[in-house]
Amino acid sequence: MMPITLNWEQIQPLIERMDMNDAMREAFIEYSKGNAVIPPVGELIMHQPPGEVHIKYGYIKGGNYYVIKIASGFPHNQNQNIKPGQGMMLLFDIKTGVPDAILIDNANLTDIRTAIAGAIASHALSIDDLESFAIIGTGVQARYQASYISELMNIKKIIVWGRDSLKANEVKNDLSDLDVTIETDLEKIVKESRLIITTTSSKEPLIQSDWIKSGTHITAVGSDTPEKCELDPNILSKADLIVADSIEQNLIRGEIHQAIKRSLIDYESIVELGEIFAELKPGRVHKDSITIADLTGVAVQDLVIAESVFKAYSAI
């Protein structure tokens, strides 16, 4: 039997009918309990033109499928009117190895599963009664994070900062159903916001340690390679709680990696998102705590979203 093959135009209407928040929380729980098999991330870095390819794969014990995901980012694609993100997810029957689905998603499924993780982490770790939140960055992930967090946390007011004011205004136009304000002063937006989501590909810290006020939660999703760094590593030594999606991955990539290699934090103090969702470890314990979630992307997220798409298509 041939696997189903879907392109993004076929996948998108299925996504709009799916709520994956609970399934994603459960996947993080299974991962943190040791019930997932996730090998190290495969990575290819290109230089002329610049590009990066991430290969993630794995399964949850007792599940029905395993997934292999290839997602790339080629920033110069924009010059040719090609989406920077490319890739696909491959879903296989775990008992036979038979391929069930080939999802040619142009990396959109990766963007969405990242946004879902950002939303559920922000919801779990930030203070209550927020009236607004800040998005740092102007790319595709900035838009997805804004949409998913706004919907889950019922917050309509969003402040956006970007290095390029034209791109920041494009984000505002694309999120016309939300109350979006553009802020050009990064220090001001950080000092005034208690929920901050960073979505850039910066290799130099953007947010400085002395800008962070008590009660702030940061969900950092942009730094997913050993080189990237959006936060001053001293922020992590200042934090009351540091949460990793995968401690194993975060030790070699992301904001936690940057702080550990400078001996600013002890990895034994880090907790995993799945441990918080499972209530095995406490999350935010005080309104004035500073908390950070460093999300580098785990293959169980790819498994959840690929399986959900396949089930939604099969139910038609």
pLDDT tens, position by position, 215-262: 999 999 998 878 899 999 999 999 999 999 999 999 999 999 999 999
pLDDT at 17: 85
Residue 289, H or E segment: none
Residue 101: pLDDT band by 50, 70, 90 thresholds? very high
Q: Answer whether residue 152 shows pLDDT above 90.
A: yes
> Model-level pTM?
0.94
Cα within 13 Å of Cα(137), Cβ side: 23
Residue that is written with structure tokens 């990696």 in the block: 257
CA-based R_g, the chain, Å: 19
| Interstrand relation of 4-7 and 157-161 (parallel, antiparallel or unpaired) | unpaired
Check whether 92 has a pLDDT greater than 90: yes
Question: pLDDT tens across 61-90, in order?
Answer: 999 999 999 999 998 998 999 988 899 999
